């Protein structure tokens, strides 16, 4: 079975967003149940008043969940950016090579030569 090779924080963002979306969907669909308003009518509180109050409550709840989703997404995204890898693995020796370096300090593997002259950024074709 194919599984994307994402970082842990990427999985956290995806799972958080899926849970918040599920919370929104369940909250909106459960508010459409009008059986509660049938039992809550009185001389001062009609069925239409109950339905209107339920709709307002659903709107407020949806706005709160959406706001929590947005804030959580921003916080998790900042953490995702702060924890990204600072380099890449050398395919020859496996050591970490800092971003921007074109050769491995341990084994002198040349990343630019491995890519080839036609794929190096800024090179002009023949």
Q: What is the pLDDT of residues 61-109, one digit of tens each?
A: 999 999 999 999 999 999 999 988 778 888 888 888 887 888 888 888 8
The answer to whether residue 126 is domain-embedded is: no
Q: What region, left, alpha or beta, does residue 53 occupy, with left being phi > 0 and alpha being psi -120 to 50 degrees?
A: alpha
Examine the domain organization and report whether 27 and 53 are in the same domain.
Answer: yes
Supply the pTM of this predicted model: 0.63
Let me know if residue 2 belongs to a domain.
Answer: no
On whether both 22 and 72 belong to a single domain, the answer is: yes
Termini Cα distance of the chain:
43
Question: Is residue 101 domain-shared with residue 74, that is, in the same domain?
Answer: no
Which two structure tokens, joined as six digits, stand for 25?
Answer: 């969907």
Least confident interval from 35-39, 47-51, 102-106: 35-39
Percent of the chain at pLDDT > 90 equals: 33
> What is the extent of the structural domain holding 73?
8-82
Which of 24, 16, 18 lies closest to 73, judged by CA? 16
pLDDT above 60: residue 123: no
What's the mean pLDDT when you consider all of the chain? 83
Task: Kindly tell me if the per-residue pLDDT of 19 is higher than 80.
Answer: yes
Residue 75, C-beta contacts closer than 8 angstroms, at least 6 positions apart: none
By the 10 Å C-beta count (0-12 exposed, 13-18 middle, 19+ buried), 62 is classed as middle
């Amino acid at each position: 079975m194919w599984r994307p090779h994402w970082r842990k924080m990427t999985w956290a963002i995806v799972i958080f967003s899926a849970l918040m979306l599920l919370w929104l969907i369940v909250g909106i669909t459960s508010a459409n149940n009008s059986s509660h308003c049938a039992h809550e009518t009185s001389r001062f509180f009609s069925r239409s008043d109950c339905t209107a109050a339920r709709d307002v409550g659903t709107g407020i709840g949806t706005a709160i969940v959406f706001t929590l989703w947005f804030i959580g997404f921003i916080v998790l995204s900042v953490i995702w950016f702060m924890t990204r890898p600072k380099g890449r693995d050398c395919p020859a020796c496996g050591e970490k090579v800092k971003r921007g370096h074109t050769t491995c300090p341990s084994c002198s593997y040349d990343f630019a030569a491995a890519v080839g002259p036609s794929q190096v950024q800024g090179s002009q074709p023949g």
